[in-house]
């Protein structure tokens, strides 16, 4: 791997780092070391990198804020790609063109400043635009699928195309990108509506306050662990079978919200995965409901 990293460093494609701890780049604050960590400076550089990785059969993972992934504790023998430099922002009337690496909460603030409504649901979601689109992140009965008009995408054969909302197949916590992981979101066009600036800010403040009151934001976590089944709440199912507060190693089912698993300070990735799997099995045994995990498991094979 060392010779490949040296070659990548010589390509002049952006920042290249070695031996990076993934726990410093995920909201669970767990995960092993990554052999190589690359922040491409532009689309041309990203394509150059991907061509090299694919030609040499080197595994890679595009990572946003790490807010919905669970890396294993073992070494990631490959390349982690961060799109932090894809952070352009252009607002024209009620349309926003924004890079995949732009922070979602920051985007919510920019929209609110201009009296643009429709992103209030995302005011407390700690992800990037690209990550939010990949997961179709949402809250308060809305999600990215309601506001994304089109997305500029890099295809597996290195073409840059534009996909429309309909083509992106948005559904509850899912999108085209989850079933086609070799496609990479580069930039999104988001359509909002004009609203009252004070009212938008009021909603944002109230929702952030509600999150603080109802979610264990003082601990590392990755948000909701399970998707809500139809007409039910995963957190209530977990609480009703007495699992709230359950501890495995350094991981715990939050006493504040049972659909959150928190890192109490010394959790391993294995602790968290064990707790997720135990909870999923317990709910299945009790209710015959197969909860779907929202988080993506990476490097467990």
Catalytic site positions: 173, 224, 294
Of residues 211, 41, 200, the one with CA closest to residue 120: 200
Q: Are 37 and 82 in contact (CB under 8 A)?
A: yes
CA distances from 133 to 17, 46, 161, 244 (A): 27, 19, 16, 30
Q: Are 72 and 295 in contact (CB under 8 A)?
A: no
Give the contacts of 180 (CB within 8 A, at least 6 positions apart).
none
| Angstrom distance (rounded) from CA 20 to CA 298 | 16
Q: Are 15 and 2 in contact (CB under 8 A)?
A: no
Give the number of other Cβ atoms within 10 Å of residue 110's Cβ: 16
Element (H, E) at 248: strand 247-248
Strands 261-263 and 251-253: antiparallel
3-state DSSP assignment of residue 103: strand
Chain-centre distance for alpha carbon 228: 17
| Angstrom distance (rounded) from CA 52 to CA 161 | 21
| Angstrom distance (rounded) from CA 30 to CA 263 | 8
- Scan for tokens 């390349």, then name that residue: 79
């Amino acid at each position: 791997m060392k010779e490949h990293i040296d070659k990548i460093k010589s390509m002049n494609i952006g920042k290249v780092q070695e031996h990076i701890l993934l726990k410093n780049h995920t909201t669970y604050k767990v995960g092993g070391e990554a052999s190589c960590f690359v922040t491409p400076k532009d689309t041309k550089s990203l394509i150059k990198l991907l061509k090299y990785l694919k030609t040499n059969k080197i595994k890679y993972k595009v990572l946003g804020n790490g807010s919905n992934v669970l890396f294993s504790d073992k070494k990631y023998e490959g390349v982690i790609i961060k799109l932090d430099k894809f952070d352009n922002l252009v607002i024209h009337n009620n349309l926003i063109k924004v890079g995949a690496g732009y922070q979602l909460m920051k985007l919510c603030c920019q929209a609110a400043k201009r009296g643009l409504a429709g992103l209030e649901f995302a005011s407390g979601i700690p992800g990037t635009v690209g990550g939010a689109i990949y997961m179709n992140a949402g809250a308060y009965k809305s999600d990215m699928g309601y506001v994304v008009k089109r997305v500029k995408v890099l295809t597996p054969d290195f073409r840059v195309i534009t996909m429309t909302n309909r083509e992106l197949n948005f559904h509850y916590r899912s999108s085209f990108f989850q079933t086609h992981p070799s496609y990479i979101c580069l930039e999104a066009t988001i359509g909002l509506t004009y609203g009252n600036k004070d009212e938008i800010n009021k909603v944002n403040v109230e929702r952030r306050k509600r999150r603080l009151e109802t979610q264990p934001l003082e601990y590392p976590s990755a948000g909701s662990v399970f998707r809500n089944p139809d007409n039910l709440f995963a957190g209530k199912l977990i609480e009703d079978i007495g699992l709230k507060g359950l501890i495995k190693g350094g991981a715990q089912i939050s006493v504040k919200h049972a659909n959150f698993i928190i890192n109490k300070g010394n959790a391993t990735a294995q602790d968290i995965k064990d707790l997720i799997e135990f909870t999923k099995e317990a709910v299945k045994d009790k209710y015959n409901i197969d909860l779907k995990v929202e988080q993506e498991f990476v490097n467990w094979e």
